[in-house]
Amino acid sequence: MTIISYAIFALLAVSLAAVSLAKADDIPVTFAQLPAQAQKLIKDTYPGEKVSYAMMDDDLIRPDYSVVLASGVKIQFNNDGSLEKIESRQGVPTSLIPVQILDYVKMYSEDGFVVEYEVNRFGYDVKLSNRMEFNLNRNFKPVRFDD
């Protein structure tokens, strides 16, 4: 390739990135526009709870969703509706947290309950009401602990 070819390729790559960033906006959506799996989780876990607002992050490749309930619970979903993150000062329902994580919480914190739970590509991030935080890998092995 010549220098001109590299320059054209670089210009196209930068232009594509700029268009992608410009398109990544939050768009309000209705409850019915959320993925079915997200709707089911909200209905099953918070029956009768009103949705204050729901947003779709308009990512060109994989949009994701954010929901805030009237009680202040914040929930983030992946594009397929799977749970990505949940925050609740009243406590995250234990039905949403794998038993291995709940066992870890009981073992290391008698008085704390989960107020933030996140699933990511590396594993799980958990914050407790007593300000303890820990990370577990995908095999539920401790990676980091912070009190």
The count of other CB atoms within 10 Å of the CB of residue 35 is 18
Tokens 């609740």, residue located: 88
* Tokens encoding 11: 């210009």
CB 79 within 8 A of CB 47: no
pTM: 0.80
Average pLDDT over residues 22-50: 91
Per-residue pLDDT of 65-101, as tens digits, reads 999 999 999 999 999 999 999 999 999 999 999 999 9
pLDDT in the model for residue 62 = 82
**What are the residues facing 127 on neighbouring strands?**
116, 133
* Tokens encoding 42: 């909200």
Tokens 């095999």, residue located: 139
Distance of alpha carbon 77 from alpha carbon 86, whole angstroms: 9
Distance of alpha carbon 97 from alpha carbon 74, whole angstroms: 15
Per-residue pLDDT of 10-26, as tens digits, reads 445 544 444 444 445 88
